[in-house]
Chain A
Amino acid sequence: MHGTDTKTTWHAIVQSTLKANDVKLVVYVPDKVFTPLIKTLHADPDFTTFAAAREEEAVGILCGAWMGGRRGAVLMQTSGFGTIPNVLASLAVPYQIPLIMFVSERGTLGEFNLGQAMVAKTMRPVLDSLGVETHTMTRLDETEFIVDRGIKQAVATQAPVCFILSPLLTGGKVFEG
């Protein structure tokens, strides 16, 4: 499912689908599961990729970039999502900005940290209450379709979209003792 062939990995598909949709600015707060995607994006000169100090800061940067005419995406983990409801509710949603979010899902399917498990339970209710289009991604063969169509809908409807990458897709992070 999460092999190393660059043509069949989830991160290679996300990279190529972002590029195909002209989403070439990626701001992230690091996450273990996203490491291969972050490395891939840093290595690709078509992308501008950098870390922000906090998730809501990354959202602010991307909202500014969109208004300046440049598309971007933010990468964060579940606990990072827990820090951004205010910026979603006061900036991205009311100003009608197609913020593209990728969240690596912690807190389920083998979580070992209770703090992650608890914050994970707040994520979908927050997205639902804000009316944010949300896709939980579990299958490699659906990854391109979901990311491609999700980005196109966000841009066309001027509304944020959140892609939640399940451990079923990425392998997740497991307890190492």
Chain B
Amino acid sequence: MAPAHAASFDNAKVMNRFTLTQRLVAKLKREEAVVGGIGNTNFDLWSAGQRPQNFYMLGSMGLAIPIALGVAIAQPQRHIVALEGDGSLLMQLGCLTTIAALGPKNLTMVIMDNGLYQITGSQPTPAAGLADFVAIARGAGIAKSAWAADEEDFDRLIDTALAEGGPTFIAARIDDKPGVGATDRDPPQIRDRFMRGLGAKKAG
């Protein structure tokens, strides 16, 4: 469960998605896989440094977490991180109950919450200012769910998730800055690189 000093939505610092993504990627020393959701989460993942263990999702809004769960089931020895936006998660909230039921220790979910459908013109989501994604995740049965109070707290939560296992749900409040760069939109190449990066397809 969350420690007594855990941050809440109200006192969590508004951070920057690209900064947090860079801090996350810098911590990945064991060829952990990362699945970037549609739009800015995967643009920032791409821009934070391309790794063979990164998967960039170009459509199928809301499915970054289910895709990450599938990888986690296939490769129980590898840790998987799903990067997802708040609007995307709203499209597939039911997946949190599936994850709670299965309890994969090697899965971490990071939600970037700015309350906006940023890429379509920054319309507010139906959840903006009302729903608490950490409370939703906890209510779905994911006990290790927390708001990141600030960048240092985000680092600590990631360290704990990677070291102790989960499933872990980390939500971060972010600003409305656009994504940095854009992913090369070549689905077969993205998939092929990812499979080779995971050792699911041999070199050659």
Contacts and interface: CB of A to CB of B under 8 A. Distances in A.
Given A69-B200, A86-B59, A94-B187, A62 B94 contact: no
B136 interface: no
B60 A86 contact: yes
B61 to A, nearest CB: 8
B67 A64 contact: yes
Interface in B25-62: 33, 35, 55, 57-60, 62
A65 to B, nearest CB: 4
A61 B59 contact: no
Interface stretch (A47-55, A117-125, A127-135, A169-177): A47-55
Interface in A17-46: 25
A87 interface: yes
A68 interface: yes
A90 interface: yes
A113 interface: no
B102 A50 contact: yes
The B contact surface, by secondary structure, is helix
Interface size class of B (residues with CB under 8 A): 35 or more
A63 B188 CA distance: 13
Interface in B55-80: 55, 57-60, 62-63, 65-75, 78
Closest 9 A/B residue pairs (Cβ): A90-B59, A64-B70, A53-B94, A68-B74, A60-B66, A69-B200, A60-B63, A70-B74, A65-B70
Interface of B: 33, 35, 55, 57-60, 62-63, 65-75, 78, 92, 94-95, 97-98, 101-102, 187-188, 190-191, 194-195, 198-201
Given A60-B66, A68-B33, A94-B188, 10 more contacts: A57-B66, A57-B92, A60-B60, A60-B69, A61-B73, A64-B35, A64-B67, A64-B72, A67-B71, A67-B195
